[in-house]
Amino acid sequence: MQIVLLTLLLVFSIAADSWADIYRYVDDNGVVCYTDAPLDKKAKRVVKTESPVIQGDAPGSSTSEDIRSIVLDKASKYELDPSLVHAVIKTESNGNPRAVSRKGAMGLMQLMPTTASDLSVRNPFDPEENIDGGTKYLKYLIERFNGDLILALAAYNAGPKAVERNGSVPQITETKQYVKKVLSLYNGRTVLPVSSAGSRVPSSVPRNEPIYKVLTEDGSVLFTNSPHYSNKKTTPRL
C-alpha cells in the first residue's frame, strides 16, 4: 500500500517580517502542516519566536557552539568534512534556524517540504533534525554524482535531475552563484571519496516534485506539493 504524505507550510505573512511562533500538526487527511496560526487543538509549537521572524537571510548563529557541535556529529556520521556542511549552512540560511525561502525551503540547510518528509525530518526548524537531514541528503548527492562535489552542490540547489539532464552545472544563474559561494567558503577538494556509509536515502527524494504557491482568501501564503489542495488556485514555483 502506498502512503502519500503531503507536507505544506503556511508562511508567516506576505510582509517581510512578523512576530510568529511556528506550530506543527496533522490534519484530518493526514497532511503535515507547519503554520503560525494553530487551528488544530493538537498543534505542537516547534519554534518559539521572541523577535521578528525574517524570511530569507538573517544574522545567524552558524558559528555558535551548539550548531558547531551538531555539525561535527552529523558530518562524522555521514563521513563529510564539517567545513563543507558549515559552508552549505552559511550559503543556504546564513545560520538562521527559522529561515524560510520564498519557495518554501526551511531551516538551516533549507530543506524543501517533500525532501524533509522523505528524510524523516519531523521538525525542519529544529537545528539537529535539519542538519541531520541536510547532511544526509548532501552525502547522497555526492554518492550519486560519483564524488563530484561541484555537481552534488548544483543538485542540492537545482535538483539532481536538472544536473543529469544538463550533464554539468545547469545554466541557471542562481545555481552557478550558489556553487561558487559554497566552494569559496569551503575552500576544499571538489572531488571526494565515495563510499556507501550512511548515504542511503528514500528513493522518493530525487523525484523533484513541483511545489505550488497558494494565496488564500485571508492573504496568507501556503506552499504545498498538491496543486488541488482545498481547490485553491495555485501557481507552480519550481
Please indicate whether residue 209 is annotated as part of the active site. Answer: no
Query: Residue 109 contacts by C-beta under 8 Å, 6 or more apart in sequence?
Result: 88, 89, 92, 93, 130, 131, 133, 134, 135, 137, 138
Task: Tell me which residue of 136, 135, 137, 155 sits closest to 145, measured CA to CA.
Answer: 155
Phi, psi of 185 (to 5 degrees): -75, -35
Catalytic residue among 50, 65, 79, 92: 92
Q: How many CA atoms lie within 13 A of 32 on its CB side?
A: 16
How far apart are alpha carbons 158 and 163 in whole angstroms? 7
| N-term to C-term CA, the chain | 28
How far apart are alpha carbons 105 and 94 in whole angstroms? 13
Task: Tell me which residue of 236, 24, 183 sits closest to 7, measured CA to CA.
Answer: 24
Q: Provide the Cα torsion 156, 160, 166, 168; round to 10°.
A: 50
Question: How many residues would you count in the chain?
Answer: 238
Which runs of consecutive H residues, i.e. helices, occur in 145-226?
Answer: 149-158, 160-166, 173-186
User: By the 8 A CB rule, do 63 and 95 touch?
Assistant: yes
Active site residues: 92
